[in-house]
Structure formats: structure tokens, C-alpha cells
Amino acid sequence: MTQTVPARQDIASGREQSWVYFNGDIVRYADAKVGLLTHALNYGTGIFEGIRAYWNERKEQLFVMRMPEHYERMQVNARTMLMKLEPSIDELCAVSLELLRRNAYREDAYLRPLLFKAAEVIGVRLHDVPESLGIVTTPMGDYVGTEGIRCMISSWRRIDDNMAPVRAKATGLYVNAALAKSEALQAGFDEAIMLGHDGHVSEGSGENIFVVRRGQLLTPPPSDNILEGITRATIIHLAREELGLEVQQRSIDRTELYMSDEIFMCGTGAQVAPVIEVDRRRIGDGEPGPMSLRLKDLYLDLARGDSAKYAEWLTPVY
């Protein structure tokens, strides 16, 4: 049976009429407007989060994955950009649930909270610039392939922590990621892997990275200019508690990728994405590895509400 793909104009129309949060009110997406001189649009002065909600057909329930932790991180990140996230964590969670209910999702969805410098002024600075807060929701499937992706080492180095706050999801920093991602896609790969200024593996364009080598699970430490991912922390917990694996957070050299038994990437958008090739070099046997697949299954089971043990990490919508 052929599935009908919604026309582009239908998707756009649906988004225009969806409910969003903007500066203290719940309004239609079409009514949430910013001007061309908005500070964040011109200078990248904003922070954001990505939060997933998973639909469980059997339970007829939508579960939001680790929502308070995302807003807690956003609250901390705001300080790096001289901003303050005014609503409390509880208030932000309540608004997010209300948006998901109003938009009546019965499929996987995504929340994009965005705190940004909103003044319509010309001038590069962070202080004394008022900010705005918005939360948008949208349906979301796979961000990258989860059945095995091909990566390249990007020629673009990961921004260093002394250049900009790499631990924060600041909007302007994603120019770095966009350059790497386009380079990879235009070269025929699925994703980029960025190295830091010292040549150590850092992360993907929007994902943390894990390497399996000699029975150990390795991942770069925060000092290698990575985003301290919530999905990354979840995977480390699952690997240790559910699989009994030793997890080392240490610097990883480029050639260790080529010599690894398995590699996978993870993130809110990417979920758990096994890597089968780096720089046209096959990883392991060229198929998703058993440890990657096991962690992927564990992650999706808990995210969809099928693991009672981790129910506290989920917030039901309905």
C-alpha cells in the first residue's frame, strides 16, 4: 500500500495553525513574529534545547523524555549568554505539556524551546539586551539514519571552549556544526565527526560519539569541547547499570576510530545511531555492532515507556 506524503503547503499550513508558547502566552505559530533586526537573528545570541516525546501506540500515551533535565540545562546555559530563564522548571514543563495536548500529537514529537536576545538593535554585545522565550512543537521521526550511517572526519575543527561556551547549546555555535554537516553530505556521507584544536575526537554535528574497543566503551570527556548531552548521560547509565560495561571518558585519537570494533552516535535528535564507516574505512564488519544495537534497544524501550524501571525519566502527556 502506498503511503501518501503530505504536500509541502499542507505541512506549512498545519504549522502556521499549531499552538506555541511566546513571551508568556500560548498563541498560534503564525502570530509569533520577530523582526528582521532581532539581535539573535543577526548575531546568533540565543540558546535552545531539543526535547523528544515518544508515542506509545499500545498505551495510547505520549511520553516526554527527561524533560526537567533539559530545562535545567537550559537554565544553566542561559547564564553563559548573560540571560535568565524566567519561568521555573515546573512552569516550563507544564507549558510544554499543554502545547503537546493542544496540538494533539499521536506520533513522535519534538519540542524546541528557544531563549534569545530579542531587541531590534544594531550592536554586538550581550548585556542590556532584552530577551524573549518561545517553545515550538513539531512531529519528528529519525534525525539521522539509525540502521548504520557513514561518517567522515570534517576539515572543520570543533570550536574551543576558550572561543565560545561549547557546553551551551548557543544558536551561534551551530554555524560550526552546519559547515561540518554540509561538507559531509556534499561529499556523499551521512554525518561529520569533528576533531578539537588538538586533534582529538570531539563530536558530530549534533551528536555525541561513543567507541567500542577491546570490550570497553569510550567517549570523549567534556574537556574535549563536547556538549554535555543528556542522551549521552543516559547511555552511560544504561551501559553501566544494564550491561555491566566499563565506560571510560577519555580523549580519543582519530586512528582509534578506524581501529574500533563499533562506533555509535547519540543525541536527542539522533537517538542511537550506529556508525558503519568512517572515512571510507569499514568499522568492524561493516554492520551495526551488537553493543550499539543493544544500547539502542534499551534506549528506545525506556523512551517509549516500555521499561518500568525508568518511568521516572518520562513525563506522560495525556
DSSP labels, the chain: -PPPPPPHHHHHHHHHTSEEEETTEEEEGGG----TTBHHHHH--EEE--EEEEEETTTTEEEEESHHHHHHHHHHHHHHTT----S-HHHHHHHHHHHHHHTT--S-EEEEEEEEE--B-----STT--EEEEEEEEE---SS-SS-EEEEE-SSPPPPTTTS-TTS-BGGGHHHHHHHHHHHHHTT-SEEEEE-TTS-EEEESS-EEEEEETTEEEE--GGGT----HHHHHHHHHHHHTT---EEE----HHHHHT-SEEEEEETTTEEEEEEEETTEE-TTSS--HHHHHHHHHHHHHHTT--GGGGGGEEE--
Per-residue cell: 78: 542561559
User: Which residues make beta-bridge pairs with 111?
Assistant: 51, 137
Active-site residue among 117, 169, 181, 296? Answer: 169
Contact assessment for residue 114 and residue 174, using Cβ atoms and an 8 Å cutoff: no
How far apart are alpha carbons 123 and 84 in whole angstroms? 20
Q: Is 169 one of the catalytic residues? A: yes
Q: Three-class SS string for 235-250?
A: HHHHHHHCCCCCEEEC
Please give the backbone phi and psi of residue 125, each rounded to the nearest 5 degrees, phi first: -170, 170
Catalytic residues, which ones?
169
